[in-house]
Chain A
Amino acid sequence: MSDFVYFFTFQDSSIAFVVIGIILLGVGSAYVGTYSFLDKKALLGDAISHAVLPGICLGFILAGTKNPIYIVSGAFFSGALATFLSSWLRKNTRLSEDAIIASILSIFFGFGIVLLTVIQKSGNPEMAGLNQFIFGNAIAILEEDLWIYGGLAVFIILTLTAFQKEFSLLVFNAEYGSAIGYPMGLIRLVFNVLMILSVIIGIQAIGVVLMAALLITPGAAARFWTDKLSYLVILAGVFSAVSGVLGTYISFVLPQMPTGPWVVVFLSLVALISFLFAPKRGVISRYISRRSYLKRTHQDHLLKALYRAGEKDKTNLSIEEIYETYPFQKKESNQSIKYLTKEGFIIQNQSLITLTSKGKSESKRIVRLHRLWELYLNEYMNIAPDHVHDSAEKLEHILTPELEQLLESRLNYPKLDPHQETIPRDNDEL
């Protein structure tokens, strides 16, 4: 607990620096990543993040120390080479995109590991901590590193904001962009540079292996919550920053813990929550809306049963008769009766159930939609009368008043359905 207070009150200025750094880097990479996610280029980010490793090692070999300028330049160089190679191969060979991405990722990363081993064998005392570039260690970031990584993150955020319109055009409809005379090739190049930079700012804190998760997961998770690009970008930034800070906290409390994997754990948690709980797109809200739809259909069917009883001059149904109509659905039937009584569609007198006038008009509406649809299928789509019931049984719950009106006028306000049953109108006697 005292660790928690110590960390989050930022008494230690180095912690404050790390937190600011991780927030900037999270927001920057989530921002770029959201665009590349929308552009369906998620794998490219993964390839780039693995491909910067040989550059980092070369930078280290040249500098002889963990000089951030050398390391960043090396990483940028090998990231750029990987990006260029992947687009060159796509243009000039018949290899498919996934094959190209997979080979570039593994070749560069493999080469990087070879270099890393060479450095470790060399016995350079400075090499301690070079391993951190694989899984990241935010706490080990020094203030001078932060100026570079933080500065780059700010640069990414500003550039993306300034060219928001151009990057949206690039992702949505690049061809149209060229047609109106925008230099789409150049815009793509700038975007790729931002993508490489966003990987680089994370190599110290998150590590090359997991940086792709920080690029893609925030945008993918945020997509569950919103359809607006501006909200999407902000939400992705927030998800990323929060996970970043939490991951850093863990590696602060447990010094042996690398930061990257923990950031990814928190990000995955956010993604899981979005997947489950987001309104409209989330699994649970889809489940709930399906449940309530099924409830609706059961209520509709109950009203219909009462209406059909009325057609046979029977003004009510007993609960037992209802149970018999829907065997194995006793619980649902009880729920429907309870709900329909509460809403004033039916009246329950001991075990007898009668439609109210409100219930009569609603039941007529459902039966009318059912029979209109049957007639439409029969007349316009030439479907035999004994084949139309199932479809009508499903569609009666969702046909809108506009469609009802359209059906009525197309069929010229018909009296009978294909089974010679009356299509009820509101002012008909029941």
Chain B
Amino acid sequence: MINHVESPILEIHDLTVSYDQSPVLWNVDLSLPSGKLIGILGPNGAGKSTLIKAIMGLVAPSGGYVKLFDKTLEEVRSRISYVPQRESVDWNFPASVLDVVMMGTYGKLGLFKRPGKKEREIAMECLEKVGMQGFAKRQISELSGGQQQRVFIGRSLAQNADLYLMDEPFAGVDMATESAIFELLQQMTSEGKTVVVVHHDIYSAVNYFDWFIMLNLHLVASGPKEAVMTEDLLRKTYGGKLNLLTKVSELIRQKEFNPLKN
């Protein structure tokens, strides 16, 4: 069940990604409409984060390509914003909340230049949007999980992009923060932005997203909620890994080279 769309904001063509030779994503082929709130669903180890990283060019694919706004990543990088997983950084790093949010302006600022008053103002605005304006001077080591997540989202807002890719922004977040973040994402899509979110909880996902990508090492489904939220597809997504696929991965891992690499 894979719905392709006309003039997609994101097109993924036969993307295969391997880590240490084991393929973690097989032939993902999909296209996404713009202005939607899109959820990536799948069990642990299904390749959800890997898909986002491959889109951002952070992992090299062993096959296939990604096109954004019908262009290559390098041509449109400033229009895309990435929110990494909260756990991927060391929050004991000596920096203030404002310092981190200001990193969102670094892309436009470019190398060598130092952020100034303008960047500070942008960062403050974005902190306000995520409800953290009172925390600007706070050290990031003193934040709770939900606050860290808001800081990361604030940082991506500072990029003022058109497409947002967020890796588990709802992980380790309390209910109040979860709904606040969700409202913010909805507001962003109503302004015409596209937001793609890796999400772990199917129950809340049903209420949150308009479009779903279901992954389990391969693409199970991609389409509007009404079309893909079926018991059958959910079972295919969450019903254990495909036995044969795992065996083939194992076979490839034991070879001295990766036959999938082009």
Contact = CB atoms under 8 A, between A and B. Distances in A.
B94 interface: yes
Contacts of B159: 180
Interface in A133-177: 162-166, 168-169, 171-173, 175-177
Nearest to A40: B90
Contacts of B93: 38, 171-172
Given A178-B57, A180-B77, A182-B111, A168 B84 contact: no
Of A168, A181, A223, chain B has the most CB atoms within 10 Å of the CB of A181
Contacts of B89: 172-173
A223 B111 CA distance: 27
Interface string A177-210: 1111111000000000000000000000000000
A172 B56 contact: no
B45 interface: no
Nearest to B52: A179
A429 interface: no
A226 interface: yes
Contacts of B53: 175
A345 to B, nearest CB: 32
A69 interface: no
B90 A172 contact: yes
B248 to A, nearest CB: 22
B153 to A, nearest CB: 13
B31 to A, nearest CB: 22
A226 B88 contact: no
Interface stretch (A71-79, A227-235, A316-324, A417-425): A227-235
Interface residues of A, number: 27
A406 to B, nearest CB: 13
Contacts of B84: 173, 175-176, 179
Contacts of A171: 93
B7 interface: no
Interface in B84-109: 84, 88-90, 93-96, 99-100, 103, 106-107
A1 B111 CA distance: 52
Nearest to B100: A172
Contact of B94 (A163, A173, A180, A226): A226
B244 interface: no
Nearest to B73: A181
B103 A173 contact: yes
Contacts of B56: 178-179
A166 B111 contact: yes
Interface in A371-406: none
Contact of B107 (A38, A162, A172, A181): A181
A227 B142 CA distance: 11
Interface in A210-230: 223, 226-229
Contacts of B99: 168, 229
Contacts of B103: 169, 172-173, 176, 180
Interface string B52-83: 01001110000000000000001001100010
B239 interface: no
A229 B107 contact: no
B210 to A, nearest CB: 25
A163 B56 CA distance: 24
Contacts of A164: 114
Given A169-B106, A173-B103, A179 B95 contact: no
B141 A165 contact: no
A393 to B, nearest CB: 26
Q: Please list the 7 inter-chain residue pairs (A to B) with the smallest Cβ-Cβ separation, ordered nearest first.
A: A180-B107, A179-B82, A181-B77, A227-B139, A229-B94, A172-B93, A173-B89
Given A173-B89, A180-B106, 15 more contacts: A40-B90, A166-B111, A169-B103, A169-B106, A172-B89, A173-B88, A175-B84, A176-B84, A177-B106, A179-B56, A181-B77, A181-B78, A182-B107, A226-B94, A227-B139
25 contacts: A38-B94, A162-B112, A163-B112, A165-B114, A168-B95, A172-B89, A173-B88, A175-B58, A176-B82, A176-B84, A176-B103, A178-B58, A179-B56, A179-B58, A180-B77, A180-B103, A180-B107, A181-B77, A182-B106, A182-B111, A183-B111, A223-B94, A227-B141, A229-B95, A229-B99
